[in-house]
């Protein structure tokens, strides 16, 4: 009987982990600028340690083919559930009562954990602009949280 109970407990724990799973949060969606080259897109965490706040900065780096000529644009985005814990000096993501550590503060800055990774998708939508139906391309930046 005890063995059956332990087996059921492990089964429920495993099922709970599968149900919790990874969460993919849309951080930013930006229309693709067809006048620019294809950018390198990355996401980084930033903090205000005095206020206990954290946010994601998305960087778009455009290279022109000449290694000395490029430019970047940055967008700072508040992500619901993301904060900076001043006691532990960690960037944490809290959703549904589950806390995930996304970055640790080190002497040289923030070091991201592998629990909150960024990925980029390029999508195309057909949009009715009132005159025609046109195809427009967007970049979507996601934060994938392993809980």
Contacts of 121 (CB under 8 A, 6+ apart): 139, 140, 142
Tell me what pLDDT residue 137 has: 93
**For the chain, which residues make up each domain, given as ranges?**
18-146
pLDDT (tens, 9 = 90+) of the chain, 147 residues, equals: 333 233 333 333 333 333 446 789 999 999 998 777 788 899 999 999 889 899 999 999 888 777 677 788 999 999 999 999 999 999 999 988 889 999 999 988 899 999 999 999 999 999 998 999 999 999 999 999 997
Task: Report the alpha-carbon distance of residue 17 to residue 114 in Å, rounded.
Answer: 17
Under 8 Å between Cβ of 99 and 114: no
Contacts of 37 (CB under 8 A, 6+ apart): 62, 63, 64, 65
Q: Closest by alpha carbon to 80, among 140, 19, 23?
A: 23
Tell me what pLDDT residue 84 has: 94
Tell me what pLDDT residue 21 has: 60
2 φ/ψ sector (left φ>0, alpha ψ -120 to 50, else beta) = alpha
Whole-prediction pTM value? Answer: 0.76
């Amino acid at each position: 009987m005890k063995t059956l109970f332990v087996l059921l407990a492990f089964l429920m724990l495993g099922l709970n982990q599968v149900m919790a799973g990874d969460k993919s949060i849309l951080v930013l969606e930006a229309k693709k600028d067809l006048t620019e080259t294809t950018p390198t897109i990355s996401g980084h965490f930033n903090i205000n340690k005095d206020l206990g706040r954290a946010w994601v900065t998305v960087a778009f780096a455009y290279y022109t083919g000449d290694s000395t000529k490029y430019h970047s644009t940055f967008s700072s985005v508040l992500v619901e559930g993301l904060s900076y814990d001043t006691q532990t000096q960690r960037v944490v993501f809290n959703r549904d009562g589950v806390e995930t550590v996304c970055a640790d503060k080190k002497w040289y800055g923030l070091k991201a954990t592998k629990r909150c990774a960024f990925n980029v998708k390029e999508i195309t939508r057909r949009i009715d602009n009132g005159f025609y139906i046109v195809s427009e391309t967007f970049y979507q930046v996601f934060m994938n949280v392993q809980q």
